[in-house]
Amino acid sequence: LGAGEMPSHLKDFIVFEEDDEKFHLLTSSLNNSGIESRPKRVGNLNELQAILEQPEKSGLAHFKPRLVFIGMPKTTDKIWELLELRRKRVDLRKIPMIVFSNPEIEHEETQRFYDYGVNSLVLRPENQGDYGKLIETIREYWFGIVMLPSS
């Protein structure tokens, strides 16, 4: 840390979500969950990849993501490239990745996400109550039960 900088007790999250309303529901649920978080929204998967690969070049040198949330993108081509990069790099595999899926996802695509190392593929909640329940489950599991490596 540089002079005068204090280590943060906040949990850093990266959120890729194309839908503004879904992003708001997610961040509201994070705020209401008791998780002291600092979500960083990325506008596209290229930006997410840049932050994961070299956070200091994105102006986020002290940003240490504890989870990555990905809302299922409209097109999935880029996500496989991102997941392939993550699969090859041990440092990136240490950051749990949760993908919010739609109900129409095919079994083969579900399998492919897990083959590429996604930690959790969950049905995208539709309302504030469902987001709240999901975030509470995530909080209990990823920050209460699971022992994560330090980044």
Average pLDDT on 131-140 reads 92
**What would the pLDDT profile of 71-112 be if each residue is shown by its tens digit?**
988 777 889 999 999 999 888 888 999 999 988 889 999 999
Which residue from 145, 149, 52 is spatially nearest to 94, judged by alpha carbons? 149
Q: State the helix-helix crossing angle for 20-32 and 128-140, rounded to 10 degrees.
A: 50
Predicted pLDDT of residue 97:
95
Between 72 and 7, where is the model more confident? 72
**Given CA atoms 80, 71, 142, 50 in this order, what sign does their dihedral have?**
positive
In 5-119, where do the E strands start and end?
11-16, 37-42, 65-71, 97-101
pLDDT value at residue 9: 60
Reported pTM: 0.85
Predicted confidence band of residue 6 (pLDDT cuts 50, 70, 90): very low
User: What is the pLDDT of the chain when averaged over all its residues?
Assistant: 85
